[in-house]
Structure 1
Amino acid sequence: MSGESVKNWHRHCLLPDGTELQEHSLKTDRDIVVGEFCQIDYGLRGADVYVGESTKIREYVWANGDARIGNLCEIGSDVVAKQDAYIGEGVKIAGKLVVSGALDIGEKVEIAQGFEATGEIAVRNPMPVLVFILIYLMTMLQIENERELDRILDNLFSEDDAKMEVPLMIPARSRLNMKVFSVPSSMKIGRKCR
Protein backbone atom coordinates (compact mmCIF):
# COMPACT_ATOMS: atom_id res chain seq x y z
CA MET A 1 0.00 0.00 0.00
CA SER A 2 1.46 3.34 -0.96
CA GLY A 3 1.74 6.37 1.28
CA GLU A 4 -0.73 8.10 -1.06
CA SER A 5 -3.46 5.57 -0.25
CA VAL A 6 -2.93 5.91 3.51
CA LYS A 7 -3.90 9.56 3.47
CA ASN A 8 -7.42 8.29 3.97
CA TRP A 9 -6.45 6.21 7.01
CA HIS A 10 -10.10 5.61 7.87
CA ARG A 11 -10.54 3.66 4.60
CA HIS A 12 -8.39 0.67 5.66
CA CYS A 13 -9.58 -2.43 7.53
CA LEU A 14 -7.52 -4.02 10.29
CA LEU A 15 -8.47 -7.16 12.18
CA PRO A 16 -5.86 -7.42 14.96
CA ASP A 17 -4.35 -10.62 16.37
CA GLY A 18 -6.85 -12.87 18.09
CA THR A 19 -9.99 -11.43 16.46
CA GLU A 20 -12.86 -13.92 16.33
CA LEU A 21 -15.66 -13.91 13.79
CA GLN A 22 -18.34 -15.93 15.50
CA GLU A 23 -21.79 -16.85 14.20
CA HIS A 24 -23.37 -13.57 15.30
CA SER A 25 -20.45 -11.40 16.45
CA LEU A 26 -17.10 -9.87 15.68
CA LYS A 27 -15.11 -10.13 18.92
CA THR A 28 -11.75 -8.77 20.08
CA ASP A 29 -10.11 -7.84 23.37
CA ARG A 30 -9.05 -4.51 21.82
CA ASP A 31 -10.98 -1.36 20.99
CA ILE A 32 -13.25 -1.39 17.93
CA VAL A 33 -13.45 1.61 15.58
CA VAL A 34 -16.18 1.59 12.90
CA GLY A 35 -16.38 4.31 10.24
CA GLU A 36 -19.54 6.00 9.08
CA PHE A 37 -22.12 4.59 6.64
CA CYS A 38 -21.24 0.93 7.35
CA GLN A 39 -23.63 -1.99 7.24
CA ILE A 40 -22.61 -4.78 9.63
CA ASP A 41 -24.69 -7.92 10.09
CA TYR A 42 -22.76 -8.98 13.21
CA GLY A 43 -22.67 -7.88 16.80
CA LEU A 44 -19.56 -6.03 17.98
CA ARG A 45 -17.80 -7.00 21.19
CA GLY A 46 -14.61 -5.27 22.34
CA ALA A 47 -12.93 -3.05 24.92
CA ASP A 48 -14.15 0.43 23.88
CA VAL A 49 -16.47 0.49 20.85
CA TYR A 50 -16.77 3.55 18.60
CA VAL A 51 -19.37 3.52 15.80
CA GLY A 52 -19.41 6.29 13.17
CA GLU A 53 -22.45 8.20 11.96
CA SER A 54 -25.24 6.59 9.92
CA THR A 55 -24.00 3.03 10.47
CA LYS A 56 -26.34 0.04 10.78
CA ILE A 57 -25.40 -2.81 13.11
CA ARG A 58 -27.81 -5.74 12.72
CA GLU A 59 -26.95 -7.30 16.09
CA TYR A 60 -25.69 -5.81 19.38
CA VAL A 61 -22.88 -3.54 20.58
CA TRP A 62 -21.07 -4.75 23.73
CA ALA A 63 -18.26 -2.62 25.17
CA ASN A 64 -16.23 -3.76 28.16
CA GLY A 65 -15.32 -0.07 28.47
CA ASP A 66 -17.03 2.90 26.80
CA ALA A 67 -19.48 2.79 23.89
CA ARG A 68 -19.78 5.76 21.54
CA ILE A 69 -22.54 5.53 18.91
CA GLY A 70 -22.64 8.29 16.27
CA ASN A 71 -25.64 10.24 15.01
CA LEU A 72 -28.37 8.45 13.05
CA CYS A 73 -27.07 4.92 13.69
CA GLU A 74 -29.35 1.90 13.92
CA ILE A 75 -28.54 -0.94 16.33
CA GLY A 76 -30.62 -4.11 15.84
CA SER A 77 -30.37 -5.35 19.43
CA ASP A 78 -28.90 -4.23 22.78
CA VAL A 79 -26.16 -1.72 23.50
CA VAL A 80 -24.17 -2.58 26.63
CA ALA A 81 -21.41 -0.35 28.03
CA LYS A 82 -19.56 -1.50 31.14
CA GLN A 83 -18.38 2.09 31.64
CA ASP A 84 -19.75 5.26 29.98
CA ALA A 85 -21.92 5.58 26.87
CA TYR A 86 -22.24 8.41 24.35
CA ILE A 87 -25.28 8.07 22.10
CA GLY A 88 -25.64 10.55 19.24
CA GLU A 89 -28.73 12.31 17.96
CA GLY A 90 -31.37 10.25 16.13
CA VAL A 91 -29.95 6.84 17.10
CA LYS A 92 -32.37 3.88 17.04
CA ILE A 93 -31.71 0.95 19.38
CA ALA A 94 -34.05 -2.02 18.81
CA GLY A 95 -33.12 -3.61 22.13
CA LYS A 96 -32.15 -2.28 25.55
CA LEU A 97 -29.45 0.25 26.50
CA VAL A 98 -27.48 -0.80 29.60
CA VAL A 99 -24.80 1.58 30.90
CA SER A 100 -22.77 0.92 34.04
CA GLY A 101 -21.40 4.48 34.13
CA ALA A 102 -22.52 7.89 32.86
CA LEU A 103 -24.81 8.31 29.86
CA ASP A 104 -24.42 11.23 27.43
CA ILE A 105 -27.33 11.10 24.99
CA GLY A 106 -28.46 13.23 22.06
CA GLU A 107 -31.98 14.25 21.12
CA LYS A 108 -34.54 12.09 19.29
CA VAL A 109 -32.99 8.79 20.37
CA GLU A 110 -35.31 5.77 20.21
CA ILE A 111 -34.70 2.84 22.58
CA ALA A 112 -37.28 0.08 22.06
CA GLN A 113 -36.81 -1.78 25.35
CA GLY A 114 -35.78 1.05 27.67
CA PHE A 115 -32.49 1.82 29.37
CA GLU A 116 -30.56 1.46 32.61
CA ALA A 117 -27.76 3.80 33.63
CA THR A 118 -26.13 3.85 37.04
CA GLY A 119 -24.23 7.12 36.56
CA GLU A 120 -25.17 10.65 35.62
CA ILE A 121 -27.43 11.16 32.59
CA ALA A 122 -26.98 14.20 30.34
CA VAL A 123 -29.09 15.02 27.27
CA ARG A 124 -26.97 16.95 24.80
CA ASN A 125 -25.11 16.50 21.53
CA PRO A 126 -21.85 14.58 22.09
CA MET A 127 -18.78 15.30 19.91
CA PRO A 128 -19.11 13.79 16.40
CA VAL A 129 -17.68 10.27 16.40
CA LEU A 130 -15.35 10.79 13.40
CA VAL A 131 -13.66 13.73 15.16
CA PHE A 132 -13.49 11.70 18.35
CA ILE A 133 -11.93 8.71 16.52
CA LEU A 134 -9.22 10.90 14.99
CA ILE A 135 -8.37 12.39 18.39
CA TYR A 136 -8.50 8.91 19.97
CA LEU A 137 -6.07 7.39 17.43
CA MET A 138 -3.66 10.29 17.64
CA THR A 139 -3.67 10.12 21.45
CA MET A 140 -3.38 6.32 21.59
CA LEU A 141 -0.46 6.25 19.16
CA GLN A 142 1.10 9.33 20.82
CA ILE A 143 1.39 11.37 17.65
CA GLU A 144 1.00 15.06 17.03
CA ASN A 145 -0.27 15.39 13.48
CA GLU A 146 -2.23 13.52 10.83
CA ARG A 147 0.82 13.03 8.56
CA GLU A 148 2.49 11.02 11.30
CA LEU A 149 -0.69 8.93 11.64
CA ASP A 150 -0.49 8.24 7.89
CA ARG A 151 3.15 7.10 8.26
CA ILE A 152 2.38 4.81 11.21
CA LEU A 153 -0.56 3.19 9.44
CA ASP A 154 1.49 2.83 6.24
CA ASN A 155 4.11 0.90 8.25
CA LEU A 156 1.42 -1.12 9.97
CA PHE A 157 -0.11 -2.25 6.68
CA SER A 158 3.25 -2.93 5.00
CA GLU A 159 5.08 -4.85 7.76
CA ASP A 160 3.91 -8.28 8.89
CA ASP A 161 5.71 -8.06 12.22
CA ALA A 162 4.21 -4.78 13.42
CA LYS A 163 3.18 -5.21 17.05
CA MET A 164 1.36 -1.99 17.81
CA GLU A 165 -1.68 -2.31 20.03
CA VAL A 166 -4.03 -0.82 17.45
CA PRO A 167 -7.81 -1.27 17.47
CA LEU A 168 -9.95 -3.38 15.21
CA MET A 169 -10.75 -0.89 12.45
CA ILE A 170 -13.65 -1.15 10.02
CA PRO A 171 -13.47 1.65 7.46
CA ALA A 172 -16.28 3.94 6.32
CA ARG A 173 -18.80 2.47 3.85
CA SER A 174 -17.86 -1.14 4.61
CA ARG A 175 -20.34 -3.99 4.34
CA LEU A 176 -19.89 -7.10 6.48
CA ASN A 177 -22.35 -9.95 6.26
CA MET A 178 -22.45 -13.75 6.21
CA LYS A 179 -21.29 -13.89 2.58
CA VAL A 180 -18.88 -11.00 2.09
CA PHE A 181 -16.56 -8.53 3.79
CA SER A 182 -16.53 -5.54 1.45
CA VAL A 183 -14.16 -2.69 2.38
CA PRO A 184 -13.19 0.31 0.22
CA SER A 185 -9.44 -0.26 0.39
CA SER A 186 -6.97 -2.73 1.90
CA MET A 187 -7.51 -5.25 4.69
CA LYS A 188 -4.98 -6.74 7.07
CA ILE A 189 -5.82 -9.80 9.17
CA GLY A 190 -3.63 -10.50 12.20
CA ARG A 191 -2.38 -13.78 13.62
CA LYS A 192 -4.54 -16.37 15.37
CA CYS A 193 -7.78 -14.91 14.04
CA ARG A 194 -10.84 -17.05 13.57
Structure 2
Amino acid sequence: MKYVSNITSICLFYLLLFVSITQSQADQIQDTALSTPPPNHRILDKWRGTWKVTAIYHPPAPKTLTYVDTFKWVLNGRFLQGESSEKSDGTKAMSMIWFDLFTQSYRFVIYDSSEPKPAEKAGEVPLPWGGIAVELPPPTWHEDTQTMEWDSGFFGPVKYTGRSRFVNDDMIISSGLLKDWKGTVIVDVETTSIRQHNAPNENACRCPQPQ
Protein backbone atom coordinates (compact mmCIF):
# COMPACT_ATOMS: atom_id res chain seq x y z
CA MET A 1 0.00 0.00 0.00
CA LYS A 2 2.86 2.34 0.86
CA TYR A 3 4.44 1.63 -2.53
CA VAL A 4 1.19 2.43 -4.33
CA SER A 5 0.83 5.61 -2.29
CA ASN A 6 4.31 6.75 -3.28
CA ILE A 7 3.62 6.05 -6.95
CA THR A 8 0.38 8.04 -6.69
CA SER A 9 2.19 10.96 -5.07
CA ILE A 10 4.87 10.97 -7.78
CA CYS A 11 2.22 10.88 -10.52
CA LEU A 12 0.33 13.76 -8.94
CA PHE A 13 3.55 15.76 -8.65
CA TYR A 14 4.39 15.37 -12.35
CA LEU A 15 0.79 16.05 -13.34
CA LEU A 16 0.77 19.31 -11.39
CA LEU A 17 4.18 20.19 -12.84
CA PHE A 18 2.93 19.54 -16.39
CA VAL A 19 -0.20 21.64 -15.83
CA SER A 20 1.92 24.44 -14.38
CA ILE A 21 4.33 24.44 -17.33
CA THR A 22 1.49 24.24 -19.87
CA GLN A 23 -0.34 27.15 -18.23
CA SER A 24 2.90 29.16 -18.11
CA GLN A 25 3.48 28.58 -21.83
CA ALA A 26 -0.13 29.54 -22.61
CA ASP A 27 0.26 32.73 -20.57
CA GLN A 28 3.48 33.58 -22.44
CA ILE A 29 1.77 33.06 -25.80
CA GLN A 30 -1.16 35.23 -24.72
CA ASP A 31 1.15 37.96 -23.37
CA THR A 32 3.06 37.97 -26.66
CA ALA A 33 -0.17 38.20 -28.67
CA LEU A 34 -1.38 41.10 -26.53
CA SER A 35 1.92 43.01 -26.56
CA THR A 36 2.61 42.71 -30.29
CA PRO A 37 -0.10 44.00 -32.64
CA PRO A 38 -0.41 41.86 -35.79
CA PRO A 39 1.05 43.12 -39.09
CA ASN A 40 -2.54 43.42 -40.33
CA HIS A 41 -2.83 46.60 -38.27
CA ARG A 42 -0.72 48.28 -40.94
CA ILE A 43 -3.67 48.00 -43.30
CA LEU A 44 -6.08 49.47 -40.75
CA ASP A 45 -3.57 52.24 -40.08
CA LYS A 46 -4.34 53.59 -43.55
CA TRP A 47 -7.55 55.03 -42.05
CA ARG A 48 -5.76 56.80 -39.20
CA GLY A 49 -6.06 60.57 -39.43
CA THR A 50 -8.67 63.22 -40.16
CA TRP A 51 -10.77 63.12 -43.31
CA LYS A 52 -13.24 65.49 -44.93
CA VAL A 53 -16.08 63.31 -46.18
CA THR A 54 -18.77 63.87 -48.80
CA ALA A 55 -21.46 61.18 -48.76
CA ILE A 56 -23.95 60.94 -51.63
CA TYR A 57 -27.03 58.83 -50.90
CA HIS A 58 -28.97 57.58 -53.91
CA PRO A 59 -32.69 56.68 -53.97
CA PRO A 60 -34.73 55.56 -52.10
CA ALA A 61 -33.42 58.20 -49.66
CA PRO A 62 -31.40 60.68 -51.77
CA LYS A 63 -29.33 63.28 -49.96
CA THR A 64 -25.79 64.61 -49.72
CA LEU A 65 -23.98 64.87 -46.38
CA THR A 66 -20.68 66.49 -45.48
CA TYR A 67 -18.73 65.90 -42.29
CA VAL A 68 -15.29 65.16 -40.86
CA ASP A 69 -14.15 61.69 -39.78
CA THR A 70 -11.28 61.24 -37.32
CA PHE A 71 -9.62 57.87 -36.72
CA LYS A 72 -7.14 57.18 -33.91
CA TRP A 73 -5.65 54.17 -32.14
CA VAL A 74 -7.05 53.53 -28.65
CA LEU A 75 -6.71 50.91 -25.88
CA ASN A 76 -2.96 50.45 -26.22
CA GLY A 77 -3.13 50.43 -29.99
CA ARG A 78 -5.50 47.47 -30.17
CA PHE A 79 -8.49 49.24 -31.74
CA LEU A 80 -8.88 51.99 -34.32
CA GLN A 81 -11.67 54.29 -33.20
CA GLY A 82 -13.49 56.49 -35.67
CA GLU A 83 -15.75 59.42 -34.84
CA SER A 84 -17.53 61.85 -37.11
CA SER A 85 -18.26 65.48 -36.53
CA GLU A 86 -21.91 66.47 -36.59
CA LYS A 87 -23.05 65.76 -40.12
CA SER A 88 -24.95 68.27 -42.21
CA ASP A 89 -28.22 66.51 -41.26
CA GLY A 90 -27.46 66.78 -37.53
CA THR A 91 -26.49 63.13 -36.98
CA LYS A 92 -23.19 61.65 -35.80
CA ALA A 93 -21.48 58.29 -36.12
CA MET A 94 -18.71 56.31 -34.45
CA SER A 95 -16.89 53.13 -35.39
CA MET A 96 -14.50 50.61 -33.91
CA ILE A 97 -12.12 48.68 -36.15
CA TRP A 98 -9.65 45.95 -35.27
CA PHE A 99 -8.04 42.73 -36.43
CA ASP A 100 -9.35 39.75 -34.49
CA LEU A 101 -6.48 37.39 -33.65
CA PHE A 102 -8.83 34.52 -32.87
CA THR A 103 -10.96 34.62 -36.02
CA GLN A 104 -8.10 36.04 -38.14
CA SER A 105 -10.44 38.59 -39.68
CA TYR A 106 -11.01 42.33 -39.72
CA ARG A 107 -13.91 43.59 -37.62
CA PHE A 108 -15.86 46.78 -38.35
CA VAL A 109 -18.57 47.91 -35.91
CA ILE A 110 -20.47 51.10 -36.73
CA TYR A 111 -22.64 53.18 -34.39
CA ASP A 112 -25.08 55.68 -35.89
CA SER A 113 -27.35 58.25 -34.24
CA SER A 114 -29.75 58.56 -37.18
CA GLU A 115 -33.42 58.69 -36.22
CA PRO A 116 -35.90 56.30 -37.85
CA LYS A 117 -37.40 57.72 -41.02
CA PRO A 118 -40.84 56.37 -41.97
CA ALA A 119 -41.90 56.11 -45.57
CA GLU A 120 -43.38 59.46 -46.54
CA LYS A 121 -45.02 58.37 -49.76
CA ALA A 122 -46.13 55.22 -51.53
CA GLY A 123 -43.28 52.99 -52.64
CA GLU A 124 -40.69 54.72 -50.47
CA VAL A 125 -38.53 52.47 -48.28
CA PRO A 126 -38.10 53.69 -44.69
CA LEU A 127 -34.63 53.99 -43.22
CA PRO A 128 -34.24 50.99 -40.90
CA TRP A 129 -32.08 52.48 -38.19
CA GLY A 130 -32.49 54.76 -35.22
CA GLY A 131 -29.48 54.97 -32.98
CA ILE A 132 -28.17 51.47 -33.64
CA ALA A 133 -24.90 49.54 -33.77
CA VAL A 134 -24.17 47.16 -36.62
CA GLU A 135 -21.19 44.96 -37.45
CA LEU A 136 -20.28 44.65 -41.10
CA PRO A 137 -19.52 41.20 -42.55
CA PRO A 138 -15.82 40.19 -42.40
CA PRO A 139 -14.08 41.99 -45.28
CA THR A 140 -11.32 40.93 -47.66
CA TRP A 141 -8.26 43.07 -48.31
CA HIS A 142 -6.91 43.22 -51.88
CA GLU A 143 -3.32 44.41 -51.80
CA ASP A 144 -3.04 44.80 -55.58
CA THR A 145 -5.86 47.35 -55.75
CA GLN A 146 -5.54 48.68 -52.18
CA THR A 147 -9.20 47.87 -51.65
CA MET A 148 -11.21 46.49 -48.72
CA GLU A 149 -14.38 44.67 -49.80
CA TRP A 150 -17.41 43.49 -47.83
CA ASP A 151 -20.00 40.94 -48.95
CA SER A 152 -22.52 39.39 -46.58
CA GLY A 153 -23.66 36.82 -49.13
CA PHE A 154 -27.29 35.86 -49.69
CA PHE A 155 -28.00 34.43 -46.25
CA GLY A 156 -30.02 36.39 -43.71
CA PRO A 157 -32.75 39.03 -44.00
CA VAL A 158 -30.48 41.62 -45.67
CA LYS A 159 -27.56 41.64 -48.08
CA TYR A 160 -24.70 44.12 -47.77
CA THR A 161 -21.89 44.79 -50.21
CA GLY A 162 -19.32 47.54 -49.90
CA ARG A 163 -15.81 48.60 -50.79
CA SER A 164 -13.23 51.17 -49.74
CA ARG A 165 -10.44 51.89 -52.22
CA PHE A 166 -7.36 53.88 -51.26
CA VAL A 167 -6.67 55.92 -54.38
CA ASN A 168 -3.56 57.17 -52.61
CA ASP A 169 -2.53 58.04 -49.05
CA ASP A 170 -4.85 61.05 -49.05
CA MET A 171 -8.03 59.84 -50.75
CA ILE A 172 -10.51 57.02 -50.11
CA ILE A 173 -13.45 56.25 -52.38
CA SER A 174 -16.08 54.03 -50.76
CA SER A 175 -19.50 52.63 -51.52
CA GLY A 176 -22.12 50.64 -49.66
CA LEU A 177 -25.29 48.90 -50.82
CA LEU A 178 -27.85 47.39 -48.45
CA LYS A 179 -30.81 45.37 -49.75
CA ASP A 180 -33.57 43.42 -48.06
CA TRP A 181 -34.26 39.75 -48.76
CA LYS A 182 -36.49 40.69 -51.70
CA GLY A 183 -33.72 42.70 -53.35
CA THR A 184 -35.23 46.09 -52.53
CA VAL A 185 -32.57 48.75 -52.01
CA ILE A 186 -32.56 50.15 -48.48
CA VAL A 187 -29.36 52.20 -48.54
CA ASP A 188 -27.15 53.08 -51.51
CA VAL A 189 -24.30 55.44 -50.67
CA GLU A 190 -20.99 56.59 -52.15
CA THR A 191 -18.41 58.55 -50.17
CA THR A 192 -15.23 60.41 -50.96
CA SER A 193 -12.79 61.03 -48.10
CA ILE A 194 -9.95 63.55 -48.40
CA ARG A 195 -7.23 63.54 -45.75
CA GLN A 196 -6.97 66.84 -43.86
CA HIS A 197 -3.97 66.21 -41.62
CA ASN A 198 -2.28 63.37 -39.75
CA ALA A 199 -3.52 62.28 -36.35
CA PRO A 200 -1.27 63.09 -33.35
CA ASN A 201 1.89 61.01 -33.05
CA GLU A 202 0.67 59.32 -29.88
CA ASN A 203 -1.97 57.59 -31.97
CA ALA A 204 0.56 56.12 -34.36
CA CYS A 205 0.15 52.48 -35.25
CA ARG A 206 2.04 50.23 -32.87
CA CYS A 207 2.81 47.70 -35.55
CA PRO A 208 5.82 45.37 -35.74
CA GLN A 209 8.60 46.87 -37.81
CA PRO A 210 9.66 44.83 -40.86
CA GLN A 211 12.80 42.76 -40.34
Q: Going by fraction, where is strand more abundant, 1 or 2?
A: 2
Q: Report the TM-score, using the length of structure 2 for normalisation.
A: 0.23
Q: Which has the higher contact order (CA 8 A, sep 6+)?
A: 1
Select the structure that is richer in helix. Answer: 2
TM-score by structure 1 length?
A: 0.25
Structure 1 or 2, whichever has the larger Rg, is 2
